[in-house]
Amino acid sequence: MDEDHRNDEGSPENHRTPKKRRLSGFISESEIREEFSHHQAGVARINNGSFGSCPRSVLAAQNKWQLRFLQQPDDFFYNTLQKAILESRTLIKDLIHADDVNDVSLVDNATTAAAIILQRIGRRFVQGKFQKNDTVIMFDSAFPAVKKSIQAYVIPAGGSLVEVRLPFPVHSNEEIITEFKKGLERGKANGGRVRLAILDHITSMPSIVLPVRELIKICREQGVDQVFVDGAHAIGSLHIDVNEIGADFYVSNLYKWFFSPPSVAFLHCKNSSAIFDLHHPVVSHEYGNGLPIESAWVGARDYSPQLVVPSILNFVNRFEGGIEGIMKRNHEEVVKMGSMLAESWATNLGSPPEMCASMIMVGLPSRLGVTSDEDALRLRSYLRDYHGIEVPIYYQALRNGESNSKDKDGYITGYVRISHQVYNSAEDYHKLKSAINHLLDDGKICKMLPKE
């Protein structure tokens, strides 16, 4: 035990770096709890999808990097930083089965990657390389920041947007593919070309796994110039092979499901030449040296989240099956818990199990009366403030011409998006189950809940 006790004669027990596993033993339950002991006690934290989570051993590694910088920042800048970023990029390249580390850049988050890619699209329109009837296509469930980026960079430059309705609740990949094909037709209706398709690998709200490989194949068949896969949730949730997926651009956040501190994401470009045509919007002296190099220096700031990838790998390899094992167990548990909730509430899942990874949508009883985004937010705050449950709620208006979900009391318009990560236990979900059931027993609807 003592050989792992780093220093710290005066430091309280629960701040020791957790013991590494004894050889041939995997991380134990109590070690996992210790790694996440900084999470607020008493909160059923079933929203790993929004902000992710970071174990103490990775945070400790991050602190070490931060301290090294503070000790002698010039030396760090000249002799350490670039090498360490390259090491992280190389490890990620291997994880995602990319060919060349030059194709892998590290940025803050998927939001930044979207700005990079859409700025380039905007430039093309301004330069006259794209014409006025050309379009960008995406599902209406695209992340709000991506939608705003299109408003900021594409529309003012003369491009148009085609939004494809995401079928939800969804029953099969075919439903999605059908809608997408219709959308592509609309995109080409005015004689323009579809210059960019933006596809979520795992949509945010409502959350489902899209059949990106098939969708990309269709894009190629239908003459779409380029495809950008926003895989914000992907790494640590499902298997990523960027060659096999075949997108022109692929981004994923490491701090959601891959245990990094906030915040770092990777952006992969299929064609190596693209890295000289994409630019980080914050221009430094590295401008023109390729996106990976530009992104590795955007002025003086804390780059430590980009440096801890080796420590993350150490962490996940303490689990049986490594990251693959974690993904598999997260998926099984979230499906199990989702089904448990749907059964208890007599509602439905938003997608079949094979169309989800470590998050799943579960219908809320119609009696709760989720009739607007405000209702959803109110219910979410109520669960946080009065029940210590953190879970995002999704409101879906009834849709004409489609089969809307129903339970015995009416239409289901509200869903919870539950996540499962290694620190979760069944208790978290039972807490949610009971809280909702109590509301129903008390005859409460959303509009009756306390206002913020």
Partner 1 sequence: MASNNHHHNHKNDDNHLNGDSSVSHVPKKPKLGSFITDSEIQSEFAHHDPAVARINNGSFGCCPASVIAAQQKWQMKNLRQPDHFYFNELKKGILHSRTVIKEIINADHVDEISIVDNATTAAAIVLQQTAWAFQEGKFQKGDAVVMLHYAYGSVKKSMEAYVTRAGGKVIEVQLPFPVNSNEEIISEFRRALERGKTDGSRVRLAVIDHVTSMPSVVIPVRDLVKICREEGVDQVFVDAAHAIGCIDVDVKEIGADFYTTNLHKWFFCPPSVAVLYSRKSPSCSELHHPVVSHEYGNGLATESAWIGTRDYSAQLVVPEVLEFVSRFEGGIEGIKKRNHEAVVEMGRMLATAWGTHLGSPPDMCASMVMVGLPTCLGISSDSDALNLRAHLRDDFGVEVPIYYRPSKDGEIGLVTGYARISHQVYNKADDYYKFRDAINQLVRNKFTCALLSN
3-class SS letters over 46-107 = CCHHHHCCCCHHHHHHHHHHHHHHHHCHHHHHHHHHHHHHHHHHHHHHHHCCCCCHHHEEEE
Map the footprint of partner 1 across residues 389-448, applying CB under 8 A.
390, 392
Q: Can residue 17 be called a binding residue for partner 1 (CB under 8 A)?
A: yes
Taking CB under 8 A as the criterion, the residue among 384, 430, 433, 447 binding partner 1 is 384
d(CA 92, CA 101): 8
Helix or strand (DSSP H, E) at 114: helix 110-126
Which of 380, 385, 364 lies closest to 437 in space, CA to CA?
364
**97 Cβ neighbours under 8 A, 6+ residues apart:** 240, 241, 242, 243, 244
- Whole-number minimum distance, CB 152 to partner 1, in Å? 5
Task: Answer yes or no: are the C-beta atoms of 88 and 104 closer than 8 Å.
Answer: no
Nearer Cβ to partner 1, position 77 or 411?
77
**Span 22-41, contacts to partner 1 by CB under 8 A:** 38-40
For 364, the token pair is 């809320």
**Least CB distance to partner 1 at residue 324 (A):** 25
From residue 93 to residue 122, the character string flagging contacts with partner 1 as x (rule: CB under 8 A) and all else as - is: ---------------xxxxx-xx--xx---
- From 60-68, 83-91, 218-226, 403-411, give the range in contact with partner 1 by CB under 8 A: 60-68
Helix (H, G, I), strand (E, B) or coil at 430: helix
- Residues 14, 19, 21, 26: what is their CA dihedral angle, to the nearest 10 degrees? 10
Residues 148-207 interacting with partner 1 (rule: CB under 8 A): 148-149, 151-153, 157
Part in contact with partner 1 (CB under 8 A); list of ranges 11-19, 83-91, 266-274, 357-365: 11-19
- Output the smallest distance, CB 408 to partner 1, in A: 32
Examine residue 129 and tell whether it contacts partner 1 (CB under 8 A).
Answer: no
Binders of partner 1 among residues 228 to 247 (CB under 8 A) are none
Of the candidates 423, 412, 368, the one whose C-alpha atom is nearest the C-alpha of residue 390 is: 423
**Cβ of residue 411: shortest distance to partner 1, in angstroms?**
28
Residue with tokens 């995109």: 187
Smallest distance, partner 1 to C-beta of residue 404, A = 27
- Which of 83-91, 162-170, 384-392, 434-442 is the region at the interface with partner 1 (rule: CB under 8 A)? 384-392
